Structure 1
Amino acid sequence: MVRQRMTGKERREQLISIGRSVFAERGFEGTSVEEVAARANVSKPVLYEHFGGKEGLYAVVVDREMIRLENLITEALQKGRSKVRIERAVLALLTYVEKETDGFQILVRDMTPGKDRSYSTLLNTAVGQVSHILGHSFQRQGLQEEVAVLYGQALVGMVSTTAQWWLDERQPPKEEVAAHIVNLCWNGLAGMLGQPTLSDEVLAELAEAERAEAENMSAENIEENA
C-alpha cells in the first residue's frame, strides 16, 4: 500500500509532537535538531523550514502548553463558591500534570522570569485571580482585604510546588492531594480536617470528565479496529 505523503500542516504538527516529547525528555539544552529530525524521519532543512531552528520549535511548544494550562486554570476559577473554585483550580493543575506530563515537565524547566510567556508569568496570572477570590472572602469575614495578594502568593506557590513533587510521586491520587492542599489553605493548621475530601460537586464533575474520556477512548478503539 502506498503511504500518503503528509501535508505541510500535518508535518508541522508531527514535528511539534515529537519536539514536545524530546524537550520533555532531554530539556532544551539536551535536545538537538538532528534528533528531532531523525525521530520524524525527515531531514534537518525540513525542521528549519517550519520553525527556523530549535529555538522556534521550542517557542511553539511552550506557547501551546502555556495556553492549554492557562485556559484550564482560568476556567476552573470562573464561577462557583470560593472554596469550590480553589478546589477546581488545584485539581485542574494536578490533572494537567497527570495527563500532559511532557508539557508540565517542559514548563517547569522554563521558569525563568522576564519572558513574555513562561510558567512564572502563568503563576503570576493565577496569583491575581486567586487574590481576587480571597479578597472577596476576606471582606465578607471582616479581614484585611489588602493582604489577600500575600495569601494568593502563598497558595499558588504551595500548589505549584506540590504539583512538581507529585509529578514524580503520583501518590496519593490527585483528588486526595487536592483535598489536602485545600484543607490546609481553607482551614489552616489549627482547623484542619482529619480526612478531607473535595466538594461533592467537584467530585461529580471529575467523575463525569473521566466517564466522557473513557467513552471517547472506547469510540476511538472501535474506529481503529473497524
Structure 2
Amino acid sequence: MPTTTSSARRASTTGPDRPTRVRMPRAQREEQILTIAEQVFAERGYQATTMEDIAEQVGVTKPLIYEYFGSKEGLLAACINRARTQLREATEASWAAVGPDASLEEVFRAGVRAFFTFIDGHATAFVLIQQEGAVASQASPLIESIREQQSAATVATFRAAPALAGVPDVLLEGYAEVVIGACERLALWRAGRSDVGVDDATDIVVSSVWGGLAALVPSAG
C-alpha cells in the first residue's frame, strides 16, 4: 500500500484549493472587522452574534479578533466609537460647508440634514445604536455618549452664533436636547417609510424646532 510522503502531505495542505488569509496592515484589518461586525450585530442582534460568526465572515481566526478587541463587548464598543466619530465628522463637515456668512437657520438646517444623510449612509450603525435593550452593559454609556457628543456640538454651534450671544446657556442646552431627540425619533419613524427622504425629514425637524429657536434671537439683542 503506498504511503504519503511528508512533502506530499505539505503540498496537500498548501495547494490552490486551500483558502488563505490575505495579509493587510493592522489598521486596515481592524477597519474591515469593524465594518463586518457592525453589519452582523445589526442583523442578528448583539446577544445572538458570536465571535465565530464575525471571524468567519471576515475570513480571519477568532483569536485574532480577541487580540485586537479583547472581547465581544470590546468589539461592540469599538463599533459604537467608530459610529460616533463618523457622525461627528459628518456634522462638522456640514457646518463648515455652509460657510462663515451663513445664517443661523442655514447652519441649523445643514446640521439636521447631515444627521439624516449619515443615517441613510450608515443604516446598520443606526440600528446598532438603537439596540440599547439588547447590548452589553459596557456599551450603553457609549451609546449615550453619541447623543451627548451631538448635543455638545450643537450647543457650541449655537454659542458661536452672534445672534444668540445673549441667550442663557441653559436655553441653548435645552434646545440642543430637543433637536437631538427630534432627529433620533424621526429617523426611527422614517426607517419604515421609503416615501420620506432626507430633505423631507430635515424640513419636518426644522419647521418644528426652528420657530422656538428663532424666537430667542430678538432676546439676544
TM-score by length of 2: 0.69
Higher mean Cα deviation, 175-184 or 117-126?
A: 117-126
- 2:23 alignment counterpart: 7
Q: Residue 156 of structure 1 is aligned with which of 170, 175, 180?
A: 180
- 1:185 aligns with 209
Structure 2 stretches of 5 or more lacking a match? 1-14, 213-221
Alignment map for 1:98-137 (pairs within 5 Å): 98-110=120-132, 118-134=142-158, 136=161
Query: For the structure 1 residues 52 and 118, does the alpha-carbon distance in structure 2 shift closer, same or farther, using more than 3 Å as the test?
Result: closer
Query: Do residues 167 (structure 1) and 183 (structure 2) align?
Result: no
- Change in CA separation of 1:166 and 1:148 when aligned onto 2, cut-off 3 Å: same
CA deviation string 1:177-219 (max 9, x = no partner): 101210111235xxxxxxxxxxxxxxxxxxxxxxxxxxxxxxx
Per the TM alignment, residue 138 of structure 1 is displaced from its structure 2 partner at its CA by 6.2
Q: What SS does the corresponding residue of 1:168 show, helix, strand or coil?
A: coil
- The runs of at least 4 consecutive aligned structure 1 residues that moved more than 3 Å come to 1-5, 10-14, 110-117, 131-140, 142-146
Alignment-mate amino acid for residue 62 of structure 1: I
Q: Which residue of 1 aligns with 2:4?
A: none
- What amino acid sits opposite 1:171 in the alignment? D
Residues in 2 aligned to 1:175 and 1:108: alpha-carbon distance in whole angstroms: 22
Mapping of residues 6-45 of structure 1, within 5 Å:
6-9=22-25, 10-45=28-63
Contact 1:18 1:36 in 2 (8 A): yes
Q: Aligned pair count?
A: 188
Note if 1:95 corresponds to 2:117. Answer: yes
Report the alpha carbon displacement of residue 162 of structure 1 after superposing the two structures with TM: 0.9
Q: Which has the larger radius of gyration?
A: 2
Separation in 1, partners of 2:167, 2:88? 29
SS at 2:119 equivalent: helix
1:77–1:129 Cα contact (<8 Å) kept: no
Q: Are 1:138 and 1:144, in contact at CA under 8 Å, matched by a contact in 2?
A: no
Answer yes or no: is the 8 Å Cα contact 2:73–2:138 preserved in 1. Answer: no
The alpha-carbon deviation at position 137 of structure 1 amounts to 6.7
Structure 2 distance, partners of 1:75, 1:110, is 28
| TM-score between the two structures when normalised by the length of structure 1 | 0.68
Aligned to 2:82: 64
Opposite residue 43 of structure 2, the aligned amino acid is E
Identity of aligned residues (%): 21
